[in-house]
Structure 1
């Protein structure tokens, strides 16, 4: 049952976070926000705040003008990381960790940061990236809004979402 699965995932990640281990997630904004909404829907405690490492946000910061996709598969190719069994949860998780490690070895400024500094930097980078994308989209549609919050999109007040 979904409630049990969500509770199990939350328990495992909470244990990791409380142990001081960062959560590594490709496009963390999606996964962490989805997990938060499911926790809320089932009346479960949300994930505690802790450092998150997001290879997607980092890559867009350290290599802004590289052409091409920024999918996990594309980042694995770019950072020369083997991706066995793409799109299975375990293979994608291992690949995201390997990409993050390669990013830290390739870009010394990342390796020099503490986990808290890297997390805080990613919050700012994600906001800047969203603002830039919003500016681009608004050339065609002035009403477009691109969410800049990271790693968790806050719930709207007065709603369950």
Structure 2
């Protein structure tokens, strides 16, 4: 069962929300051996990058990293990209899942950054190996579709009995909280654990498309126009 596999939690903090134009500032990976029931201590790696561009004040307000701090203390972005990607690809090629909240954004901006800097893409590095991703946001929209309220990580955590950290929007804190939420979600919804990792990935592809199409129809009925990419996990928005 995938719940007994190693989970590699992944998160980034960036200069904005656009996959096409924004840049990675920090990244974090946390490996939990034994999936939902860790049998050893968490293994954590974090990176601070110099993104090579100004970090907007709005982004700094979220994650606390200024342009000056990133330039002074950050590592070259291509070095960070190579190290983060190598860890992810190694995990994926072993057939294990990566866990990320709103993970489509994180894997998509990582892939876009690789291409921007002339580095091999995720697809090139995986060479056909499956890129198994588990996203608690996609799953929550499916298993608790009609719950009211926001579905941010800090809003969702208490729903599953997980304390929302005061340091949310720090990459490594968000990763740990995401892993805790997924573990609690699996306990609450056993049908998720009954799937293989491959089946769960495919399930999310379908469920994200259904959610995107339904939400766009809702917006249109209310006189609003918005395009939500129905593709998952890779997005170009």
Q: Does 1:92 align with 2:184?
A: no
Structure 2 residue matching 1:138: 3-state secondary structure: helix
Match of 1:46 among 121, 136, 152: 121
The within-5 A match list for 1:24-39 is 24-39=99-114
Give the number of aligned pairs.
154
Task: State the 1:94 CA deviation.
Answer: 1.1
Aligned 8 A contact 1:33 1:152 in 2: yes
Moved more, 116-125 or 4-13: 4-13
Higher normalized strand content (fraction of residues): 2
* Partner Cα distance (1:144, 1:101) in 2: 33
Look up the match of 1:148.
230
Task: State the 1:122 CA deviation.
Answer: 0.1
TM-score normalized with structure 2 length: 0.62
Q: Deviations over 1:22-65 (max 9, x none)?
A: 11000011111111100111122222342110000000000001
* Partner Cα distance (1:17, 1:110) in 2: 20
Aligned 8 A contact 1:6 1:39 in 2: yes
Moved more, 45-54 or 106-115: 45-54
Q: Deviations over 1:66-122 (max 9, x none)?
A: 011101101111101134432111111111111111111100111100000000000
Look up the match of 2:55.
none
Aligned 8 A contact 2:155 2:164 in 1: no
TM-score normalized with structure 1 length: 0.89
| Long gaps (5+) in structure 2 | 1-75
Structure 1 residue matching 2:229: 3-state secondary structure: coil
Look at both structures and tell me which one has the larger radius of gyration over its CA atoms.
2
RMSD value over aligned CA atoms? 1.5
